[in-house]
Amino acid sequence: MMEGDSPIMTLEEIAKYLKIGKSTLYKMAREGKIPAVKIANQWRFRKEDIDKWLQEIRNKEIISNKEK
């Protein structure tokens, strides 16, 4: 794998990785709430994008908690 490349994962793989239901993940992807791309009628996710997205959520929660 070249530097900067990230594994492409299926909806099932990301659901397992995030420990959430496939239907929940499908809805999030469809609504644009999680970084995903639809290829040939199937959702695909870059692990690097998902990890970055998780970190952004965590950072927002930390900032929000500091403001309370």
Residue 8 CA to chain centroid, in angstroms?
Answer: 11
Q: Note the pLDDT of residue 64.
A: 72
Where exactly are the structural domains of the chain?
8-67
Q: Note the pLDDT of residue 31.
A: 97
Q: Note the pLDDT of residue 60.
A: 81
| The token pair that represents 22 in the structure block | 């496939």
Q: Give the CA distances from residue 1 to residues 4, 5, 7, 10, 47, in Å, rounded to whole numbers and listed in that order.
A: 8, 6, 9, 18, 14
The stretch 46-63 carries a mean pLDDT of: 91
Task: For the full predicted model, state whether its pTM sits above 0.85.
Answer: no
Q: Which residue has the higher pLDDT, 33 or 59?
A: 33
- Say which CATH topology domain 8-67 has: Multidrug-efflux Transporter Regulator; Chain: A; Domain 2 (1.10.1660)
Q: Read off φ and ψ for residue 46, nearest 5 degrees.
A: -90, 125
What would the pLDDT profile of 13-54 be if each residue is shown by its tens digit? Answer: 999 999 999 999 999 999 999 999 999 999 999 999 999 999
Residue type, 6: S
